[in-house]
Structure 1
């Protein structure tokens, strides 16, 4: 199935106000710092750090250099540039992509493969696995320590595949493994039907997807919150950077808002499952 290719925010959840960095053993934070600072990262991707907070986010998810981490639909590889080098020596990085892919997904897949092939020193041990979105399988059952997905759930909600995806996350994780989810957050009280086409999602909808699949919610964080985002835009979340769907119209206004307001959720697969 696989295709081989060459000041943190405080977490809130089961242990309120526990600093996210305390989830990691000594040494992991410095290795994460080195991966984020790596000169192999594209300048355009580095520019998004101020919005995406990769160090605090990965610490909140408890990512360590010795783990097996499956990233679901990494796009062009924004987080791949950090995770694959971080996990290169002592862990395993697996990028899960849809097959067959078309349109934007195909372009992202091709860009990711080019990225990996162009720098074997950093990405030579990374793997790409292809999955059927209607019947997803991401690896052998119980083989992953972490499953991470960034800004993807809204696409699955619209396609009607979200429930199947979360069940497959549960299957590939070992008991005690963690699912980390970040996505565009709808206004409190919004229904899925009202916001689905906007790219934003109700937090309780995402939580229900995970808990229905067997997960337990163990943490929520405001790491990726953006209070400037009122979620009322002509082209939904794509009005904001980096997409800027309106082109030059009101560009300065949307750049001043920045990227979307986002939920950041940590789930665990119970140890007895």
Structure 2
């Protein structure tokens, strides 16, 4: 396991990781979801920056999947995931109970009656609890929040092990976040709301996962990682990475 993880890190360093994931779904398969007239206007406006079709394709979302979405935040991706997995799949969301605005937005989504395959629970930050094994665990732009104590103290090693246990063998753990400067510590993560890709890889592979692909569709060289993600100079245009980890089948 350890040797495999080190080998994958070497592949990333040499820029050849794309060869590991040939044959995945195309972003064009998800464009019809973006055209849904019932999507909130704010979601549609965010599409150009967030590249949801590329994100869904990279994560490998398919019909019938059981997805565990951490911190839906009102449902930007929840709505798309719901349509992508179809009535034969299910989205189980876990929201941080301390984020009242997000909890209220999630409740509005689930109470609308339009997303029968979505369930969202507000739990203690860092809790991992799903009623059935997952095909896909999903964390977008929030892994770094697990390091911010004011949101709730989380043991991220324990969190990642719990995600590992929640997934089916061969299941995917997908993480997308904002790149941070080398050596960013906990105080820096709280200030910038960024986390180093290398740190995420190190922590997740330590839980038993194998890194199989890095998505570069949100890489933005113009962002030097020095500003908080909410700074108007970079907001919506931060340099981000997407990582796909797999729980080994054996």
TM-score w.r.t. the length of structure 1 is 0.77
Match of 2:44 in 1: 46
Check 1:41–1:20 CA distance in 2 against 1; reply closer, same or farther (3 A cut).
Answer: farther
Shift in Å, 1:259: 2.6
Match of 1:117 in 2: 111
The answer to whether structure 1 residue 260 and structure 2 residue 250 are counterparts is no
Shift in Å, 1:74: 0.8
Shift in Å, 1:172: 0.7
Of residues 105, 108, 120, the one that matches 2:102 is 108
Match of 1:186 in 2: 180
Structure 1: which 5+ runs fail to align? 1-11, 241-253
Residues 184, 262 of structure 1: 8 Å contact kept: yes
Residues 74, 96 of structure 1: 8 Å contact kept: yes
Of residues 62, 65, 68, the one that matches 2:66 is 68
Residues 185, 202 of structure 1: 8 Å contact kept: yes
DSSP-derived class of the 1:113 partner: helix
Alignment deviations for residues 167-224 of structure 1 (CA, whole Å, 9 cap, x no partner)? 221111001000000011013x333346322111111111111011111111112111
The answer to whether structure 1 residue 36 and structure 2 residue 34 are counterparts is yes
Residues 110, 119 of structure 2: 8 Å contact kept: no
Shift in Å, 1:140: 4.5
DSSP-derived class of the 1:220 partner: strand
Whole-angstrom distance in 1 between the partners of 2:80 and 2:22: 17
Shift in Å, 1:137: 2.7
Residues 129, 138 of structure 1: 8 Å contact kept: no
Of residues 224-233 and 71-80 in structure 1, the stretch that sits farther from structure 2 once superposed is 224-233
What RMSD over aligned residues (CA atoms) do the two structures have, in Å? 2.5
Structure 2: which 5+ runs fail to align? 1-10
TM-score w.r.t. the length of structure 2 is 0.83
Match of 1:196 in 2: 189
Match of 1:5 in 2: none
DSSP-derived class of the 2:171 partner: strand
Whole-angstrom distance in 1 between the partners of 2:131 and 2:107: 23
Listed as ranges, the matches of 1:75-224 within 5 Å are 75-98=73-96, 101-102=97-98, 105-118=99-112, 120-121=113-114, 123-133=115-125, 136-140=127-131, 143-159=133-149, 160-161=153-154, 162-187=156-181, 189-193=182-186, 195-197=188-190, 198-224=192-218
Check 1:21–1:270 CA distance in 2 against 1; reply closer, same or farther (3 A cut).
Answer: closer
DSSP-derived class of the 1:79 partner: helix
How many residue pairs get aligned? The number is 233
